[in-house]
Amino acid sequence: MRKISSIGAAVVLTVAAAGAVVAGTAGPASAGCSHSHSNVDGKFGQLFNATNVNIRTGPHTTCASLGYGQLSHTVDFHCFASGDRVSANGHTTYTWTYLRDVTTGVSGWVADALLDNLGGNVAC
């Protein structure tokens, strides 16, 4: 399986989005929301697999939301990195993709379980 990492569990969050239950496990308190990223992945298109998907400041469920991605939005993937565990749509991932929602102009991190084909293919 691609993009596997381990992170200690601290908090479990459950959010309903488009009928899918999203469960996240927050990383350690030291996990910050500032992570490096670069635009090295050429993936582009309508890639959200749920509605009202949080686009966050970092790859952690505790990081602030900058906006929401929708199924109809066009997305430009930049790269992926390790983050909090998130379960949604029958998938559990520990990776997040940094992307730009072309439709809204919002850039940030989205849990790969909420993206088609489990997110980006190129590490940050």
pLDDT digits (tens, 9 = 90+) for 41-87: 999 999 999 999 999 999 999 999 999 999 999 999 999 999 999 99
> In the chain, what is the greatest distance between 2 CA atoms, to the nearest angstrom?
35
Any idea what the Cα angle at residue 60 is, between residues 96 and 16, rounded to 5°?
85
With a threshold of 0.85, does the pTM exceed it? no
Can you tell me whether residue 117 is helix, strand or coil?
A: helix
Give the pLDDT score at 80: 96
| Structural domains of the chain, ranges and CATH numbers in brackets | 39-118 (2.30.30)
Tell me the pLDDT tens digit for each residue of 17-47: 333 444 444 444 435 898 899 999 999 999 9
Among residues 62, 64, 72, 59, the alpha carbon closest in space to that of 99 is found at 59
Give the pLDDT score at 34: 87
Give the pLDDT score at 89: 87
Whether pLDDT at 3 is above 70: no
Buried b (16+ CB within 10 A) or exposed e, 8-41: eeeeeeeeebbebebebbbbeeebeeebebeeeb
Whether pLDDT at 123 is above 80: yes
CB 7 within 8 A of CB 82: yes
Give the pLDDT score at 18: 38
